[in-house]
Structure 1
Amino acid sequence: MGMPEVSDGLPFKEAIRFFESKTRLPTRAYTDIKGGAHARSFTMAGATRDALLSDMHRALIATFKSGHTKDDFLEDFDAIVAHHGWDFYGERRWRAALIYDTNLRMAHAAGRWEQIQAQADREAQAGRPLYLRYVALLDGHTRPEHAAWHGVTLPHDHPWWRAHYPPNGWNCRCDVQSLTERDLKRYGITPTPEDQVPPTELVPRQVRLADGSYETWETPRGIDPGFDYNVGQSWLEGAVPPPLSGPLPPPAAPLRPAPDLPPLPPPRPVPPEVTTPLADGLGDEAYIKAFLGVFGGDIGKPVPFRDAVGNLLAIGEELFIDRRATSAARKISPDAPPVWKVEKNGRHLILPLLAYALKDPDEIWLDWFEAKGGSVLRRRYLRRFEGLLLPPEAPMTAGAVAAFEWTHLGWTGTTIHPSARNQQTEGQRHGVLLWCKRIDGGR
């Protein structure tokens, strides 16, 4: 009797659940987010409007559930593109196939991982381990590194699978087989000795960002940038727990606190480099510079910053511009300088401290926000601080909230402010939870 077949075909219930749980995130490029964040987000490079993402997400779900083919999805793809006027990159059939194949393979891999975990639990109850065997299609079109990994057999919880669980790149067709100890004996398979496990050698890879600049990503050799994570593990455990809490409600849905939430993580000590409040009377620009300096930026020189989820943000003075007042001033004089809102609620004294709501948050949330002109997608960063000893003129704060809105430029900062009470920070926990810090401080 031959080896058991590697699973193929359309996603099953676990894969469907994985794909349905994704939250839509507009992006300008695949590199806008990194690694495990893709397991919790539905994105299409260059798709910057939620309505487009929503229609494409629904079309893929319907295609996967019905067992329809790539050609069926192409018809939906054409209709959605025509409806929204999406100016996508590449030829239509190639782009539709890339979207279909990538999402299908990722959903399949995530669903398989859930099944593997259930099987591993059953084996563990009997005191037996479960193994995974890497399987590549050796047909001449396989990457040399992937072909070399064919047959690697390791316990399912071996660290090697954190980066090498397939798919491991664009159009990667590799898979895994789960094998019990009985299977190993039956098929004459010997687990790979530890000294023969293929090394995880990190190599610098240049990736192109949406603005045309480049960023270096350290990626294991043989794995495409952005695929160096276990999609099933990131989904079930979360790159940082808990995983994404579900699809984002439509813009018209009322804002409600997310149900059944555990308390926010315990307050954490103030970073030692920002324990001393700034002096009063320094001037708006001096306070803004102090805030941006935490990220290595300056006024007129926004800096790119990867947040805890892997999303790319531009940190600049926009967080402190009074948009309405500035807009009104520039209607009178187009060259009018920005009107700042730096000293609102006394936050100017503790701006370097508030920067840590972005740099090292407790939680990140995503939701719609009603603004002048309609709904906008907003991302909120929450951080609580351990008891602060501040002078009377400084705001007594229990935490901080930073907010970014999605625009044609990407995620643009709109505000950052202190929360005087823990209840105020709790009140910002609505929409979809993208990320949180473990209670023990891990990630």
Structure 2
Amino acid sequence: MDTCVMAVSHGSLPFKEQIDYFRGKVDLPTRSWTDVYTAEHDYAFVVAGAVKRDLLADLRGAVEKSIANGTTLEQFRKDFDQVVGKHGWQYQGERGWRTNVIWETNLRQSYNAGREAQMADPELRKRRPYGIYRHGDSAHPRPMHLAWNGTTLPLDDPWWSTHTPQNGWGCKCKKFMASARDIERQGLTIGPAPAIEWEDRVIGKNSPNGPRTVRIPKGIDPGFEYAPGQSRLTPAVPPLRAYDPLPQPVPGAKYSATTTGLSNRRLPDAMPSPRTVPATRVLPEGLTDQKYLDQFLGEFGATESAPVVFKDVTGDAVVIGRDMFSNTPTGPLLIRRSGVARELPILADTLKAPDEVWVRLEWLEGQSKAVVRRRYLRRFKVEGQPTPALAVFEVGGDGWAGVSSFVQEAGSTEYLEQLRLGVLLYSRPE
């Protein structure tokens, strides 16, 4: 057995690769467990139904405490109760079941991802190039998992890409590295890989974002058909697509729905009807950057020297201040250069009273990290203008961007579909 690299089980001593993997995630609000799927978990920490950033951060802290310090499920439950009480979170499911799912899945999958990081060491793989599937001591063994016990394959065999444990809720199976001598000593045979029979499963029947069909190998629960942490260990294949800037609507252009980023779920429902705004919400041309800045900050009660923390319709916070319009705290303002100076009041309206709020995970090209961005959408109609318009305010850990347009295509289905991507956190009732 792979004693050379075998790490202690989760819930015991600290395991560096496991801790590094977990700390490499970013907090992503979600409404349902189906909003983030398979390898997306390599980049995002999620708790289904936790949409507020502060709540998610505190839940993450409780999980990380267990991973880093080896605390027990009972200690996690005490921390969980404190977080729930602090935020008044109304979560779904019974406490015992919910805390066990959060704790067990995060600890076991981060442990498995840490093991994958160990197994990726080139020198170690030369000495131990094989993987052995070992069934865990589950209370209710799955017949197919039992059948896979002892399966021995090269570590680069494609079978591992879908069958590396954990392979279901509560699954305790593991994968161990082995040398040819280990295999001979244990009386095992290398290959062939068990045949994979695929099946379609419908998930998220009660999800706010609606059901969808996924194709998985038989014997594996939906969402577990991947190798934990493996997507981070394949530098030749970018794990997420590079971030696409907000698409600019162009008169006469044809748009196609894109699938950039993670968790790109889209709803078929139409956005709420446009709301009419006074013509004064569009500022005159030719104002100074300072005038435009004062107008925008004033919408939130902020000033150039006193930023404010604005809470959006989901309860998340956005800091409103001068830094939004400059590269440095004392640098020059860059408002007119942004192209949306005249529509800043409408962008403020979009942040304060959006039609929809979407959140998605994006990859920062060249920085090897992911960020979470919130996208606020609002359709509106300016008095005296015959054409509905669209405003978009997007904010993330790397800054914000805004778009507004009066061209007809801004209200088209194709253009909207480019923007309505990710997890829908809020939709304004008509």
State whether TM-score is above 0.5.
yes
Contact 1:55/1:80 (<8 A) preserved = yes
1:223 maps to what in 2?
Answer: 220
Q: Distance in 2 between matches of 1:3 and 1:122?
A: 11
Residue identity over aligned pairs, in percent, reads 33
- Please identify runs of 4+ aligned residues in structure 1 that moved more than 4 A: 2-7, 305-308, 315-329, 361-365, 367-371, 375-380, 400-407
- TM-score using structure 2 length: 0.60
2:24 maps to what in 1?
Answer: 21
In structure 2, relative to structure 1, the CA distance for the partners of 1:68 and 1:18 (3 Å cut) is same
2:196 maps to what in 1?
Answer: 200
1:178 maps to what in 2?
Answer: 177
- TM-score using structure 1 length: 0.59
Output the aligned Cα RMSD: 4.5
User: 1:121 aligns to what SS in structure 2?
Assistant: helix
In structure 2, relative to structure 1, the CA distance for the partners of 1:111 and 1:6 (3 Å cut) is closer
Contact 2:266/2:422 (<8 A) preserved = no
Contact 2:38/2:225 (<8 A) preserved = yes
Cα deviation, residue 66, structure 1: 1.4
CA deviations on 1:352-376 (whole Å, 9 max, x unpaired) are xxxxxx9xx99685347999xxx98
Question: Which moves more between the two structures, 104-113 or 204-213?
Answer: 204-213
1:418 maps to what in 2?
Answer: none
Amino acid at match of 1:8: S
Cα deviation, residue 237, structure 1: 2.7
Cα deviation, residue 238, structure 1: 7.2
1:366 maps to what in 2?
Answer: 372
CA deviations on 1:159-178 (whole Å, 9 max, x unpaired) are 00000000011111110111
CA deviations on 1:135-183 (whole Å, 9 max, x unpaired) are 1136661111111111100011110000000001111111011101221
CA deviations on 1:307-339 (whole Å, 9 max, x unpaired) are 54233234777599689669989xxxxxxxxxx
Q: Distance in 2 between matches of 1:123 and 1:41?
A: 28
2:157 maps to what in 1?
Answer: 158
Q: Distance in 1 between matches of 2:240 and 2:261?
A: 13
Q: How many residues align?
A: 308
2:97 maps to what in 1?
Answer: 94
In structure 2, relative to structure 1, the CA distance for the partners of 1:319 and 1:367 (3 Å cut) is farther
Contact 2:10/2:67 (<8 A) preserved = no
CA deviations on 1:89-121 (whole Å, 9 max, x unpaired) are 111122111100000001100000011111x43
Q: Distance in 1 between matches of 2:280 and 2:142?
A: 54
Q: 2:34 aligns with which of 12, 27, 31?
A: 31
1:410 maps to what in 2?
Answer: 425
1:302-313 superposed matches below 5 A: 307-313=260-266
1:122 maps to what in 2?
Answer: 124
- 1:189 matched to 2:188: yes
Q: Gaps spanning 5+ residues in structure 1: where?
A: 245-263, 266-276, 280-286, 296-304, 330-343, 346-357, 381-399, 414-443
1:397 maps to what in 2?
Answer: none
In structure 2, relative to structure 1, the CA distance for the partners of 1:362 and 1:139 (3 Å cut) is closer
User: 2:124 aligns to what SS in structure 1?
Assistant: helix
Contact 1:405/1:412 (<8 A) preserved = no
Cα deviation, residue 122, structure 1: 3.2
1:389-428 superposed matches below 5 A: 409-410=424-425
Q: Gaps spanning 5+ residues in structure 2: where?
A: 244-249, 283-339, 342-359, 378-392, 399-414
Q: Distance in 2 between matches of 1:138 and 1:75?
A: 27
Q: Distance in 2 between matches of 1:326 and 1:164?
A: 59
Contact 2:162/2:226 (<8 A) preserved = yes
CA deviations on 1:237-282 (whole Å, 9 max, x unpaired) are 37952579xxxxxxxxxxxxxxxxxxx79xxxxxxxxxxx965xxx
Q: 1:47 aligns with which of 45, 50, 59?
A: 50
Q: Distance in 2 between matches of 1:240 and 1:321?
A: 41
Q: Distance in 2 between matches of 1:406 and 1:306?
A: 9
